[in-house]
Chain A
Amino acid sequence: MLAVEVTHVAKSFADKVAVDDLSFSVAPGEMFGLIGPNGAGKTTTIRMMMDIIKPDSGEVTILGEKLAEATKDKLGYMPEERGLYKKLSVLESIVYLASLKGVDRKSATEKANELLNQTGMLDSQRKKIEELSKGMGQIIQFIVTIIHDPQLVILDEPFAGLDPVNTELLKGMLADLRNQGKAVILSTHQMNQVEELCDRILMINNGQAVLYGNLSEIRTRYRGNSVLLDFKGELGEIPGVTGKRPHKGYTELILDGKTAPQQVLEHLVSRGLAINRFEVATPSLNEIFLKEVGRKP
């Protein structure tokens, strides 16, 4: 059973097509990246998955069924801009929002204390939300998102505004969720986080899918005609290499398109060059993103 299955979904607002014929699926135990520039339609897609807004056409299936009230208890959602009841205490906020997900007060309190302990915030449980720093508030919001043990967790820009310590804490907790077999969807434009965490991605722009699939496959697909080389000695002329671009700590060799990287490596080894690093240049997700998003109007 898929955690999410979105089929040919479309949504328009008064003067704008927000999502246009979008299809994708997410499996349990998968960390899935939903990426795209601002205004691409990520948040609209998430809101349709959450049944906060209805699609104009197409179908959304969550955990094998159309989203119903009972299904909502199995979802965890953390919106991009975050807020909680400022005047409520940390514990009260968590317990109330957990109760709306069908968790009774006693279990919610126990679980909240456990998670607060895990995040090193147990001392803050009686503090009011307005007394917390932004990063701490964000951790509380994350606890609210996962306290009811959801099968599907959707996080909109989860790392925005977090310091490196809390970022690592969050990453660790997300990895735990995946290992427990939950489906996790990260919506973000921070490509490095996606590269580090996600198995598969959907890149959208102007409401349409631009790239969809396994991250390493996509990167292989976008592999360019160059190799990265760190060496000692004189490089000289290399057959099949049309250009050299010096970078800090390495040189990028541009191949002519007919020569394989393997052939270049063999040539260099045969010349007795001391090679510290030889790597087929794979574009970063950021480069792919810029290439794809820059290409479309």
Chain B
Amino acid sequence: MNKTLLILRHEFLHTIKRKGFIIMTLVVPVLALLAIGVLQLVSTIEKPPVVEMTAIGYVNEAGGFDQYTTQGNIELIHFDTTDEATAALINGDVPEYFVIPPDYISEGVINRYTLEKEVETPAAITAVIKNFLTSNLLSEKVPPETVYRIEAPLDLVVTRLTETGEVATEQGGFGNVIIPGIFSLLLAFSLMFSSSYLVQGLGDEKESRLIEVLLSSVSTRQLLVGKVLGLGATGLVQVAVWLASAPLLLGLASSTFGGFISTIQLPANFIILGIVYFILGYLLFAALSAGVGAISPNAREGQQLSMIYTMLVFVPVWFSSLLFIFPNSPIWVVLTIFPVTAPMAAMLRLGVSDIAAWQLAVSIAVLVLTIIGVLFLAVRAFRIYLLRYGKRPNWGEIIQNLRSG
């Protein structure tokens, strides 16, 4: 077997047997399963009893307001005076009451009385009072259907059209963001973990001087390419496990979240771009880690150094909430083109809005060029620093050595 393939095979088998890798791979489906279970449990416990008529008292000092006293499940009970209403409240006959003052028509003030301590009036209560008032104000002035329409004036249905005027296959909405969002987050974690494996592995081989035995058998290039590809293969396995568990999880989840799950859809190009960015992301991080592994005298220092670029992976995730508000900000273009953040930024943006073709092209081109450049420098750094076990060289020395070496 080709020596690069032997190293690939070894690194692959070595990594997938690691506890950290197994936990990381299984934790995602297991956590998702747990989350679904907990939500299902909570939703059964919290399910409100079907028929529970709740009453709200009211005192009418303005006149009128004697129709529409049933609002959904809530009965509105009339009291003649506030004293009566207060007594009923204290006795527990009604949980709360409100007063329509005589100058209500001119001032619009409603006074609400309750025993509960609240941050603000629950939206459902506000809606009940509002509908009660609106219905009574309009009664006999417009037909009952119009009263109903005024209470619920719109049910917004949005349809996205293509430039040719047909209904677009991809309709947007939160359902569209879910899969790319989850995918980019998982990719970020996966990159972070796998980078740390590579740096750790190289550090260990340097510390144990095993690297000298390896280099007396294979070339630097074979060793590096084997390691990078071996790691890429483990990443693919991880994502394959996650993807394979997705239909099962979605099936389970749909019984809990029903309607929402049905709105989940994959953005067009997502599969293709997802795989492209996944592979390029892995290669970039593996090359960066090989470079860091080469200049660090041991695994510990290597891990610290690799924090620099692994933290950068999460930058698009930190700003993802801003993405919904400003999807077209130039910041996103920068994050899509900057190689370290590109995979995450592109995945997130795919779910929210369209990415201009030129941006994708530039992003992928920059990523590919960076990988080649970093690999070239990593092989060089490897040769120069691999056999130095002392102190890590400072950045000035590294730059000078890479230029001259």
Q: Which residue numbers of A lie inside 8 Å of B, CB to CB?
A: 14, 47, 50, 52-53, 69, 72-73, 75, 77-88, 96-97, 99-101, 144
Known contacts A52-B387, A53-B387, A85-B14: A101-B217 contact under CB 8 Å = yes
Would A82 and B209 count as touching, CB distance under 8 A? yes
Would B208 and A47 count as touching, CB distance under 8 A? no
Instruction: From the candidates A52, A73, A88, name the one contacting B215 in the complex (CB within 8 A).
Output: A52
Query: Among the interface residues B7, B208, B213, B219, which one has the most CB atoms of the partner chain A within 10 A?
Result: B213
Shortest C-beta distance, A197 to chain B (Å), equals 22
The reply on B241 being an interface residue by CB < 8 A is no
Q: List 17 A-B contacts (CB under 8 A).
A: A47-B387, A50-B212, A50-B215, A52-B387, A53-B383, A73-B217, A75-B216, A79-B213, A81-B208, A82-B209, A83-B207, A84-B208, A86-B208, A88-B14, A96-B10, A100-B3, A100-B6
The reply on B124 being an interface residue by CB < 8 A is no
The reply on B369 being an interface residue by CB < 8 A is no
Within 8 A of A (CB), among B1-41: 1, 3, 6-7, 10, 14
Within 8 A of A (CB), among B203-234: 204-205, 207-210, 212-219
Q: List residues of chain B with CB within 8 A of the CB of A97.
A: 213-214, 217
Known contacts A47-B387, A52-B387, A83-B208: A77-B219 contact under CB 8 Å = no
Instruction: From the candidates A52, A72, A88, name the one contacting B212 in the complex (CB within 8 A).
Output: A52
The interface on chain B, measured as residues whose beta carbon lies within 8 A of the other chain's beta carbons, has a size of: 24
Q: List residues of chain A with CB within 8 A of the CB of B7.
A: 100
Known contacts A50-B215, A50-B216, A69-B219: A83-B387 contact under CB 8 Å = no
B226 and chain A: residue at smallest CB distance: A100
Q: Is the interface of A mostly helix, strand, loop or mixed?
A: loop
Given A50-B216, A69-B219, A73-B217, 17 new contacts (CB under 8 A): A47-B212, A47-B387, A52-B387, A69-B3, A72-B217, A75-B216, A79-B212, A81-B209, A82-B208, A82-B209, A84-B208, A87-B14, A97-B213, A99-B1, A100-B3, A100-B214, A100-B218
Q: List residues of chain B with CB within 8 A of the CB of A87.
A: 14
Q: Which residue numbers of B lie inside 8 Å of A, CB to CB?
A: 1, 3, 6-7, 10, 14, 204-205, 207-210, 212-219, 383, 386-387, 397
Q: List residues of chain B with CB within 8 A of the CB of A79.
A: 209, 212-213
Known contacts A81-B209, A83-B209: A52-B216 contact under CB 8 Å = yes
Query: Among the interface residues B6, B14, B208, which one has the most CB atoms of the partner chain A within 10 A?
Result: B208
A13 and chain B: residue at smallest CB distance: B388
Cα-based distance from A78 to B213 in the complex (angstroms)? 7
A80 and chain B: residue at smallest CB distance: B209
Shortest C-beta distance, A73 to chain B (Å), equals 8
Shortest C-beta distance, B32 to chain A (Å), equals 30
Shortest C-beta distance, B223 to chain A (Å), equals 9
Cα-based distance from A163 to B204 in the complex (angstroms)? 26
Cα-based distance from A83 to B1 in the complex (angstroms)? 25
Instruction: From the candidates B205, B208, B213, B397, name the one contacting A144 in the complex (CB within 8 A).
Output: B213
Task: Give me the 9 closest cross-chain CB pairs, A-B, nearest first.
Answer: A83-B208, A100-B217, A77-B216, A79-B212, A50-B216, A81-B209, A52-B215, A79-B209, A83-B210
Shortest C-beta distance, B207 to chain A (Å), equals 7
Shortest C-beta distance, A245 to chain B (Å), equals 45
Cα-based distance from A81 to B212 in the complex (angstroms)? 10
Cα-based distance from A52 to B382 in the complex (angstroms)? 11
Q: List residues of chain A with CB within 8 A of the CB of B214.
A: 97, 100
Cα-based distance from A221 to B217 in the complex (angstroms)? 40
Cα-based distance from A101 to B10 in the complex (angstroms)? 14
B18 and chain A: residue at smallest CB distance: A87
Q: List residues of chain A with CB within 8 A of the CB of B209.
A: 79-83
Query: Among the interface residues A52, A75, A86, which one has the most CB atoms of the partner chain B within 10 A?
Result: A52
Cα-based distance from A73 to B222 in the complex (angstroms)? 14
Would B213 and A77 count as touching, CB distance under 8 A? yes
Shortest C-beta distance, B218 to chain A (Å), equals 6
B220 and chain A: residue at smallest CB distance: A52
Cα-based distance from A52 to B220 in the complex (angstroms)? 9
Q: List residues of chain A with CB within 8 A of the CB of B397.
A: 14
Shortest C-beta distance, A211 to chain B (Å), equals 27
Cα-based distance from A82 to B219 in the complex (angstroms)? 20
Q: List residues of chain B with CB within 8 A of the CB of A101.
A: 217
A52 and chain B: residue at smallest CB distance: B215
B214 and chain A: residue at smallest CB distance: A100
Cα-based distance from A75 to B386 in the complex (angstroms)? 20
Cα-based distance from A101 to B222 in the complex (angstroms)? 13
Shortest C-beta distance, A155 to chain B (Å), equals 12
Q: List residues of chain B with CB within 8 A of the CB of A73.
A: 217
Q: List residues of chain A with CB within 8 A of the CB of B204.
A: 86
